[in-house]
Amino acid sequence: MRLLIKNIKELIQVESAPVAYKAGKEMRNMHTVKHAWLLIQDDKIADFGGMNSPLPAADQTIDATGKMVFPCFCDSHTHIIYKGSREIEYIDKIRGLSYEEIAKRGGGILNTALRMHEATEEELYRDAWLRLEEMKAHGTGAVEIKSGYGLSTEDELKMLRVIKQLKADSALTVKANFLGAHAVPANYKGRQSEYVDLIVNEMIPKVAEEKLADFIDVFCDRGFFTVDDTDRILEAGTRYGLIPKIHANELDYSGGIQIGVKHHALSVDHLECTGDAEIEALLHSRTMPTLLPGAAFFINMPYAPARKMINAGLPVAMASDFNPGTCPSGNMQLILSMGCIKFRMLPEEAITATTINTAYAMNVSDSLGSIAKGKTANVFITKPIPTYEYMPYSFGDNKVETVILNGKIQ
Ligand code: NIG
Ligand code: FE
């Protein structure tokens, strides 16, 4: 099956020599083809070119006059398996309580963990499926999904089995991340190291045995898990073949970035508290600094120093962090806008941060994240838009018209 998209106003983020990710000044070096065509054969990108070159034969043709084609967003950090919402805490936040104060009162992650315990796999699957469909409609083609609201062996496995089923059924590319160390559960209060023992000795072996996760995560931050806890958990996870991708430096200069780099984490995420020492550690690594501006926006926290990081030569990725507590949205177009407005990223840098760099942060940049021959055909066609800069500029509405995943129109 050959699908041709012709008369494309501009084809965005094309690569003739694909790279794993883009860092520093390279992030703004985004290639495009104006007045272009794109040929998809089965599930792959077969070729592309300018409308002044001969059009290839196809079984089906889409006329994209006035519209642009982008690689789908890759959302490398989400927590979309949950039951119920947390707008009561949202009101507490408006009244002035901090995220940590809410968590200390048993709200936050522990609140969602209670509901997780009650929920069936079918309910969780149904809710997460709807979230995935909504994300897809906004141009996302690949999603990393974390556990972390179970906080017991049984409930963590329940979450991961739901992710496994979504992986099998969804047209989106799904990766699973085991986040048993998201918070210390209520029944382990005051016995944090025993909970870490449980993760290391029981949860990780079971997750590995059932092949339920690609990655392992720890919320390494003030009031949650320490650097030593993180060291133990990542060491055990790596031994079982799980690749580290962790939450770090959201609430403090916690040492999370450095411990992530030490364990060759694929990404360290959040990074609101990043100074010179953290940048230095990252510069000598292949770890992707991943920023989550939706969470900083929603809990009204200082933003990560994205500009400083890019100017220092680092790559930066941006994901949604879709979760009920700190970012109840998986709209990556909004993340693009936040990147430009709050991080002062140029539109090209923000597009790179949400496509090829997030693809790297979920280990799929060899097949996703850009328009390149031989990559998987995960692209979206926009509504008619004047320029690609219009994508972050016009915030709040959906500018995606058609989504194509694995070569199939959705
Ligand atoms: O990435 N920071 C830790 N974990 C999530 C929040 C989870 C929640 O509050 O439910 C985050 O922001
Ligand atoms: Fe998160």
Task: Answer for the pair 324, 86: CB distance below 8 angstroms, yes or no.
Answer: yes
What total number of domains does the chain contain? 2
In the block, tokens 């029981």 appear at 202
The pLDDT tens digits of the residues spanning 191-237 come to: 999 999 999 999 999 999 999 999 999 999 999 999 999 999 999 99
Same domain, 159 and 248: yes
Q: Which atom of ligand 1 is nearest to the CA of 109?
A: 10
Residue 275 has pLDDT above 90, yes or no: yes
Task: Answer for the pair 32, 14: CB distance below 8 angstroms, yes or no.
Answer: yes
Measured in Å, residue 145 CA sits from the centre of ligand 2 at 10
Same domain, 109 and 236: yes
Confidence of residue 316 (pLDDT cuts 50, 70, 90): very high
Q: Which residues contact 317 (CB under 8 A, 6 or more apart)?
A: 21, 76, 267, 288, 289, 290, 291, 353, 354, 357, 358, 360, 361
Same domain, 57 and 92: no
Same domain, 375 and 326: no
Measured in Å, residue 164 CA sits from the centre of ligand 1 at 21
Measured in Å, residue 44 CA sits from the centre of ligand 2 at 31
What residues does 173 pair with on adjacent strands?
142
Token pair listed for 330:
């998986």
Confidence of residue 106 (pLDDT cuts 50, 70, 90): confident
Token pair listed for 61:
């043709």
Same domain, 140 and 245: yes
The pLDDT tens digits of the residues spanning 252-271 come to: 999 999 999 999 999 999 99
Same domain, 231 and 349: yes
| Residue 303 pLDDT | 97
- Our answer on whether the CB atom of 247 is closer than 6 Å to any ligand 1 atom is yes
Same domain, 37 and 159: no
Same domain, 112 and 256: yes
Q: H-helix or E-strand containing 363?
A: none
- Our answer on whether the CB atom of 324 is closer than 6 Å to any ligand 1 atom is yes
The three-state secondary structure class of 273 is: coil
Which domain covers residue 27, as residue numbers? 2-71+369-409
How far is Cα 104 from Cα 244, in angstroms, rounded to an integer? Answer: 27
Residue 99 has pLDDT above 90, yes or no: no
Same domain, 60 and 189: no
Measured in Å, residue 240 CA sits from the centre of ligand 2 at 23
Confidence of residue 133 (pLDDT cuts 50, 70, 90): very high
Lowest mean per-residue pLDDT among 99-108, 145-154, 344-353, 369-378: 99-108
Confidence of residue 353 (pLDDT cuts 50, 70, 90): very high
Note the ligand closest to the C-alpha atom of 148: 1
Q: Where are the strands (E) in 22-122, listed by range? A: 32-41, 44-50, 60-63, 68-71, 73-78
Same domain, 386 and 314: no
Confidence of residue 325 (pLDDT cuts 50, 70, 90): very high
| Residue 88 pLDDT | 87
